[in-house]
Structure 1
């Protein structure tokens, strides 16, 4: 059973988070931000949503492949198990 102090701390922290978390969503955008002149077309969205993650996947795959090739050691001759 939680002590009254722990229960009070829990309730207080939950209430503070419920009040403070949405406060950031109510803030206005800074005046220094530039307004986007024209929205992205279909090709722009494809590059953003498919091209960038695909390129990131390819880079990570190449790095993993290169590192696994570096750590490969061939088995000694005659050490294969006969089935």
Structure 2
């Protein structure tokens, strides 16, 4: 699963143009939004599209659970693992 987490981190960095960050700068359990990595709702949309394209998983933007799936790299990895088609 750590390979998947590294792919997610790289996807975050590349899709959101976080050029000054490296994989090592993002903790697996670090919150991605607000206090953690500091991402916002626009970043969430871009990241959601990138994840859908890269991992071929369906993300329901209107689901209450989507917020939980985007809480951290750990949560995203778990979501992707359980929803790969």
TM-score normalised to the size of structure 2?
0.20
Task: Report the structure number with the largest CA radius of gyration.
Answer: 1
Structure showing the higher helix proportion among its residues: 1
Question: TM-score normalised to the size of structure 1?
Answer: 0.20
Greater RCO structure (CA 8 Å; 6+ sep): 2
